[in-house]
Protein backbone atom coordinates (compact mmCIF):
# COMPACT_ATOMS: atom_id res chain seq x y z
CA UNK A 1 0.00 0.00 0.00
CA UNK A 2 2.75 2.43 0.99
CA UNK A 3 4.67 1.29 -2.03
CA UNK A 4 1.76 1.99 -4.30
CA UNK A 5 1.23 5.39 -2.70
CA UNK A 6 4.90 6.14 -3.20
CA UNK A 7 4.63 5.25 -6.86
CA UNK A 8 1.56 7.38 -7.29
CA UNK A 9 3.38 10.40 -5.88
CA UNK A 10 6.39 9.74 -8.12
CA UNK A 11 4.12 9.18 -11.08
CA UNK A 12 2.23 12.40 -10.50
CA UNK A 13 5.53 14.25 -10.33
CA UNK A 14 6.54 12.93 -13.71
CA UNK A 15 3.05 13.07 -15.13
CA UNK A 16 2.58 16.70 -14.18
CA UNK A 17 5.43 17.76 -16.45
CA UNK A 18 4.16 15.59 -19.26
CA UNK A 19 0.70 17.05 -18.79
CA UNK A 20 1.98 20.60 -19.25
CA UNK A 21 3.87 19.67 -22.40
CA UNK A 22 0.96 17.67 -23.77
CA UNK A 23 -1.48 20.48 -23.06
CA UNK A 24 0.68 22.83 -25.12
CA UNK A 25 0.68 20.35 -27.98
CA UNK A 26 -3.08 19.89 -27.74
CA UNK A 27 -3.69 23.65 -27.74
CA UNK A 28 -1.77 24.03 -30.99
CA UNK A 29 -3.42 21.00 -32.53
CA UNK A 30 -6.75 22.56 -31.65
CA UNK A 31 -6.16 25.78 -33.54
CA UNK A 32 -4.29 24.52 -36.58
CA UNK A 33 -4.43 20.74 -36.71
CA UNK A 34 -0.68 20.60 -36.37
CA UNK A 35 1.01 17.95 -34.26
CA UNK A 36 4.02 19.91 -33.23
CA UNK A 37 7.05 17.64 -33.17
CA UNK A 38 9.11 20.78 -32.66
CA UNK A 39 7.52 21.44 -29.28
CA UNK A 40 10.55 19.94 -27.55
CA UNK A 41 12.77 22.60 -29.07
CA UNK A 42 11.21 25.04 -26.62
CA UNK A 43 12.75 22.97 -23.87
CA UNK A 44 16.06 22.83 -25.72
CA UNK A 45 16.05 26.61 -26.03
CA UNK A 46 15.06 26.92 -22.38
CA UNK A 47 17.90 24.65 -21.39
CA UNK A 48 20.47 26.76 -23.21
CA UNK A 49 18.91 29.92 -21.83
CA UNK A 50 19.20 28.51 -18.33
CA UNK A 51 22.79 27.52 -18.99
CA UNK A 52 23.59 31.01 -20.22
CA UNK A 53 21.87 32.70 -17.31
CA UNK A 54 23.67 30.53 -14.78
CA UNK A 55 26.92 31.38 -16.48
CA UNK A 56 25.98 35.03 -16.01
CA UNK A 57 25.63 34.39 -12.32
CA UNK A 58 21.83 34.23 -12.01
CA UNK A 59 20.11 32.11 -9.45
CA UNK A 60 17.28 29.58 -9.88
CA UNK A 61 14.78 32.10 -8.44
CA UNK A 62 15.44 34.38 -11.38
CA UNK A 63 16.25 31.78 -13.97
CA UNK A 64 12.91 30.00 -13.55
CA UNK A 65 10.61 32.89 -14.52
CA UNK A 66 13.05 33.98 -17.24
CA UNK A 67 12.94 30.51 -18.75
CA UNK A 68 9.14 30.56 -18.82
CA UNK A 69 9.09 33.88 -20.66
CA UNK A 70 11.83 32.82 -23.07
CA UNK A 71 9.94 29.64 -23.95
CA UNK A 72 6.79 31.65 -24.61
CA UNK A 73 8.59 34.11 -26.86
CA UNK A 74 10.44 31.35 -28.69
CA UNK A 75 7.17 29.60 -29.40
CA UNK A 76 5.72 32.73 -30.99
CA UNK A 77 8.89 33.27 -32.99
CA UNK A 78 8.84 29.70 -34.33
CA UNK A 79 5.23 30.20 -35.36
CA UNK A 80 6.12 33.41 -37.12
CA UNK A 81 9.13 31.95 -38.92
CA UNK A 82 7.85 28.51 -39.84
CA UNK A 83 4.31 27.44 -39.02
CA UNK A 84 2.63 30.59 -40.24
CA UNK A 85 3.46 29.52 -43.79
CA UNK A 86 1.83 26.13 -43.63
CA UNK A 87 -1.49 27.06 -42.05
CA UNK A 88 -4.20 25.04 -43.68
CA UNK A 89 -1.67 22.90 -45.56
CA UNK A 90 -2.22 19.14 -45.81
CA UNK A 91 -1.42 17.17 -42.65
CA UNK A 92 1.65 15.64 -44.26
CA UNK A 93 3.16 19.07 -44.94
CA UNK A 94 2.53 20.33 -41.42
CA UNK A 95 3.89 17.18 -39.83
CA UNK A 96 7.03 17.38 -41.94
CA UNK A 97 7.40 21.10 -41.23
CA UNK A 98 7.44 20.46 -37.52
CA UNK A 99 10.11 17.80 -37.98
CA UNK A 100 12.03 20.27 -40.13
CA UNK A 101 11.99 22.84 -37.31
CA UNK A 102 12.99 20.12 -34.87
CA UNK A 103 16.01 19.07 -36.91
CA UNK A 104 17.00 22.61 -37.83
CA UNK A 105 17.02 23.95 -34.26
CA UNK A 106 18.91 20.89 -33.12
CA UNK A 107 21.48 21.29 -35.89
CA UNK A 108 21.73 25.00 -35.15
CA UNK A 109 22.71 24.33 -31.55
CA UNK A 110 25.25 21.73 -32.62
CA UNK A 111 26.78 24.23 -35.00
CA UNK A 112 26.73 27.31 -32.79
CA UNK A 113 27.23 25.83 -29.36
CA UNK A 114 28.40 22.26 -29.30
CA UNK A 115 27.23 18.73 -29.77
CA UNK A 116 28.18 18.09 -26.15
CA UNK A 117 25.94 18.59 -23.18
CA UNK A 118 26.66 21.54 -20.88
CA UNK A 119 26.05 21.16 -17.17
CA UNK A 120 24.53 23.69 -14.82
CA UNK A 121 23.86 23.51 -11.10
CA UNK A 122 20.74 21.77 -9.87
CA UNK A 123 19.10 23.16 -6.79
CA UNK A 124 20.11 20.64 -4.15
CA UNK A 125 17.32 21.34 -1.69
CA UNK A 126 14.56 20.15 -3.96
CA UNK A 127 15.81 16.61 -3.80
CA UNK A 128 15.45 16.46 -0.05
CA UNK A 129 12.74 14.14 1.10
CA UNK A 130 10.21 14.19 3.88
CA UNK A 131 9.07 10.94 5.38
CA UNK A 132 5.36 10.86 5.91
CA UNK A 133 4.03 7.52 7.14
CA UNK A 134 6.53 5.44 5.21
CA UNK A 135 6.14 7.44 2.02
CA UNK A 136 9.11 9.59 1.18
CA UNK A 137 7.95 12.78 -0.41
CA UNK A 138 10.53 14.50 -2.52
CA UNK A 139 10.25 18.27 -2.41
CA UNK A 140 10.69 18.15 -6.16
CA UNK A 141 7.64 16.00 -6.75
CA UNK A 142 5.55 18.16 -4.45
CA UNK A 143 6.73 21.29 -6.24
CA UNK A 144 5.91 19.82 -9.62
CA UNK A 145 2.46 18.74 -8.50
CA UNK A 146 1.80 22.12 -6.91
CA UNK A 147 2.96 24.15 -9.88
CA UNK A 148 1.25 21.88 -12.35
CA UNK A 149 -2.00 22.42 -10.52
CA UNK A 150 -1.43 26.18 -10.33
CA UNK A 151 -0.54 26.37 -14.03
CA UNK A 152 -3.47 24.21 -15.06
CA UNK A 153 -5.72 26.31 -12.86
CA UNK A 154 -4.50 29.52 -14.44
CA UNK A 155 -4.85 28.03 -17.91
CA UNK A 156 -8.33 26.87 -17.11
CA UNK A 157 -9.24 30.33 -15.89
CA UNK A 158 -7.89 31.90 -19.07
CA UNK A 159 -9.74 29.42 -21.24
CA UNK A 160 -13.03 29.91 -19.41
CA UNK A 161 -13.03 33.61 -18.66
CA UNK A 162 -11.35 35.44 -21.48
CA UNK A 163 -12.44 36.15 -25.02
CA UNK A 164 -9.21 34.53 -26.17
CA UNK A 165 -9.97 31.40 -24.16
CA UNK A 166 -13.47 31.11 -25.55
CA UNK A 167 -12.23 31.50 -29.11
CA UNK A 168 -9.53 28.97 -28.50
CA UNK A 169 -11.93 26.41 -27.12
CA UNK A 170 -14.29 27.06 -29.97
CA UNK A 171 -11.47 26.56 -32.44
CA UNK A 172 -10.44 23.34 -30.74
CA UNK A 173 -14.03 22.16 -30.88
CA UNK A 174 -14.52 22.89 -34.55
CA UNK A 175 -11.75 24.66 -36.36
CA UNK A 176 -13.65 25.49 -39.53
CA UNK A 177 -16.80 26.60 -37.79
CA UNK A 178 -14.82 28.85 -35.47
CA UNK A 179 -13.23 30.52 -38.46
CA UNK A 180 -16.61 30.96 -40.09
CA UNK A 181 -17.87 32.57 -36.93
CA UNK A 182 -15.36 35.29 -37.51
CA UNK A 183 -12.76 34.29 -34.98
CA UNK A 184 -9.54 35.96 -35.98
CA UNK A 185 -7.41 32.94 -36.75
CA UNK A 186 -4.24 35.00 -36.83
CA UNK A 187 -4.55 36.27 -33.31
CA UNK A 188 -5.84 33.00 -31.93
CA UNK A 189 -3.05 30.98 -33.46
CA UNK A 190 -0.40 33.36 -32.20
CA UNK A 191 -2.02 33.35 -28.78
CA UNK A 192 -2.16 29.57 -28.79
CA UNK A 193 1.54 29.38 -29.55
CA UNK A 194 2.28 31.84 -26.76
CA UNK A 195 0.19 29.86 -24.29
CA UNK A 196 1.70 26.61 -25.42
CA UNK A 197 5.17 28.11 -25.07
CA UNK A 198 4.52 29.34 -21.55
CA UNK A 199 3.24 25.90 -20.56
CA UNK A 200 6.37 24.34 -22.06
CA UNK A 201 8.42 26.90 -20.14
CA UNK A 202 6.95 25.83 -16.81
CA UNK A 203 7.56 22.21 -17.75
CA UNK A 204 11.10 23.09 -18.83
CA UNK A 205 11.93 24.62 -15.44
CA UNK A 206 11.15 21.37 -13.70
CA UNK A 207 12.64 19.19 -16.37
CA UNK A 208 15.88 21.15 -16.15
CA UNK A 209 15.94 21.12 -12.35
CA UNK A 210 16.24 17.38 -12.60
CA UNK A 211 18.46 17.01 -15.66
CA UNK A 212 20.76 19.95 -14.93
CA UNK A 213 22.09 20.07 -18.46
CA UNK A 214 21.64 21.67 -21.84
CA UNK A 215 22.28 19.92 -25.14
CA UNK A 216 21.04 19.93 -28.71
CA UNK A 217 18.84 16.90 -28.07
CA UNK A 218 17.62 18.00 -24.64
CA UNK A 219 14.11 18.51 -25.99
CA UNK A 220 13.75 15.17 -27.72
CA UNK A 221 12.64 13.09 -24.80
CA UNK A 222 10.16 15.64 -23.35
CA UNK A 223 8.75 16.23 -26.84
CA UNK A 224 8.16 12.53 -27.41
CA UNK A 225 6.54 12.16 -24.00
CA UNK A 226 4.36 15.17 -24.64
CA UNK A 227 3.24 13.98 -28.06
CA UNK A 228 2.52 10.54 -26.67
CA UNK A 229 0.54 11.99 -23.78
CA UNK A 230 -1.44 14.22 -26.13
CA UNK A 231 -2.16 11.23 -28.34
CA UNK A 232 -3.21 9.12 -25.36
CA UNK A 233 -5.61 11.93 -24.59
CA UNK A 234 -7.02 11.78 -28.09
CA UNK A 235 -5.30 14.91 -29.50
CA UNK A 236 -7.13 18.18 -29.53
CA UNK A 237 -8.88 17.42 -26.26
CA UNK A 238 -7.35 19.68 -23.64
CA UNK A 239 -8.59 17.65 -20.69
CA UNK A 240 -7.50 14.51 -22.50
CA UNK A 241 -3.96 15.84 -22.86
CA UNK A 242 -3.66 16.54 -19.14
CA UNK A 243 -5.02 13.11 -18.25
CA UNK A 244 -2.78 11.56 -20.88
CA UNK A 245 0.26 13.15 -19.25
CA UNK A 246 -0.69 11.83 -15.82
CA UNK A 247 -1.41 8.35 -17.21
CA UNK A 248 1.95 8.32 -18.98
CA UNK A 249 3.81 9.43 -15.86
CA UNK A 250 2.17 6.77 -13.71
CA UNK A 251 2.74 4.10 -16.34
CA UNK A 252 6.44 4.90 -16.48
CA UNK A 253 6.90 4.79 -12.73
CA UNK A 254 5.03 1.50 -12.48
CA UNK A 255 7.06 0.03 -15.33
CA UNK A 256 10.36 1.10 -13.82
CA UNK A 257 9.54 -0.41 -10.45
CA UNK A 258 8.13 -3.65 -11.81
CA UNK A 259 10.44 -4.42 -14.70
CA UNK A 260 13.19 -6.97 -14.09
CA UNK A 261 16.50 -5.20 -13.50
CA UNK A 262 17.90 -6.15 -16.90
CA UNK A 263 15.10 -4.41 -18.75
CA UNK A 264 15.00 -1.08 -16.91
CA UNK A 265 17.28 0.39 -19.57
CA UNK A 266 14.52 -0.38 -22.04
CA UNK A 267 11.81 1.55 -20.18
CA UNK A 268 11.42 4.20 -22.87
CA UNK A 269 11.32 1.56 -25.56
CA UNK A 270 8.67 -0.40 -23.71
CA UNK A 271 6.55 2.70 -23.07
CA UNK A 272 6.78 3.45 -26.77
CA UNK A 273 5.80 -0.09 -27.63
CA UNK A 274 2.80 0.00 -25.31
CA UNK A 275 1.66 3.26 -26.81
CA UNK A 276 2.07 1.93 -30.33
CA UNK A 277 -0.14 -0.96 -29.24
CA UNK A 278 -2.61 1.52 -27.80
CA UNK A 279 -2.92 3.19 -31.19
CA UNK A 280 -3.30 -0.14 -32.85
CA UNK A 281 -6.24 -1.03 -30.67
CA UNK A 282 -7.63 2.40 -29.84
CA UNK A 283 -6.50 4.74 -32.60
CA UNK A 284 -8.70 7.52 -31.23
CA UNK A 285 -6.74 7.57 -27.95
CA UNK A 286 -7.67 6.41 -24.48
CA UNK A 287 -9.83 9.37 -23.79
CA UNK A 288 -12.18 9.72 -26.68
CA UNK A 289 -13.43 13.02 -27.91
CA UNK A 290 -15.94 12.33 -30.60
CA UNK A 291 -15.03 14.15 -33.75
CA UNK A 292 -16.69 12.61 -36.76
CA UNK A 293 -15.31 13.63 -40.09
CA UNK A 294 -17.85 15.71 -41.89
CA UNK A 295 -18.93 14.28 -45.21
| In contact, 267 and 212? CB cutoff 8 Å | no
Smallest separation (angstroms) from other proteins to the CB of 157: 27
What is the distance between the alpha carbons of residues 12 and 56, in angstroms, rounded to a whole number? 33
Nearest CB to other proteins, comparing residues 99 and 130: 99
Judged by CB under 8 A, the residue of 62, 149, 269, 288 near other proteins is 269
Nearest CB to other proteins, comparing residues 91 and 186: 91
Q: b/e for 197-227, b at 16 or more Cβ within 10 A? A: bbbbbbbbbbbbbebbbbbbebbbebbbbbb
Binding range to other proteins, per CB under 8 A, among 1-9, 88-96, 116-124, 131-139: 88-96
Query: Is residue 180 close enough to count as binding other proteins by CB under 8 A?
Result: no
Query: Is residue 97 close enough to count as binding other proteins by CB under 8 A?
Result: yes
x/- track of binding to other proteins for residues 125-164 (CB under 8 A): ----------------------------------------
SS3 of 129, please?
strand
19-48: which residues touch other proteins (CB under 8 A)?
A: 35
Binding range to other proteins, per CB under 8 A, among 43-51, 130-138, 153-161, 287-295: 287-295
Nearest CB to other proteins, comparing residues 83 and 140: 83
Hey, which residues does 214 pair with through a beta bridge? 118
What is the distance between the alpha carbons of residues 247 and 163, in angstroms, rounded to a whole number? 31
Q: Taking Cα atoms as reference points, which of 143, 108, 124, 102 lies closest to residue 12?
A: 143
> What is the DSSP-derived secondary structure letter of residue 260?
-
219-258: which residues touch other proteins (CB under 8 A)?
A: 224, 227-228, 231, 235
Amino acid sequence: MTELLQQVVDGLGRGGIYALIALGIAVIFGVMHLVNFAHGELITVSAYAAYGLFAAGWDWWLVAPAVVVIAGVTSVVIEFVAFRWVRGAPDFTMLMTSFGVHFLVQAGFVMYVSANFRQFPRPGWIFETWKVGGVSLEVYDLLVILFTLLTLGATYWVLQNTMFGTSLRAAAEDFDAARLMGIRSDRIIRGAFALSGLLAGVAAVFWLMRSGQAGPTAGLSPMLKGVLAALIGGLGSLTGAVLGGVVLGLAEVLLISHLPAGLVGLTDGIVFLLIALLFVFRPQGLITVRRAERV
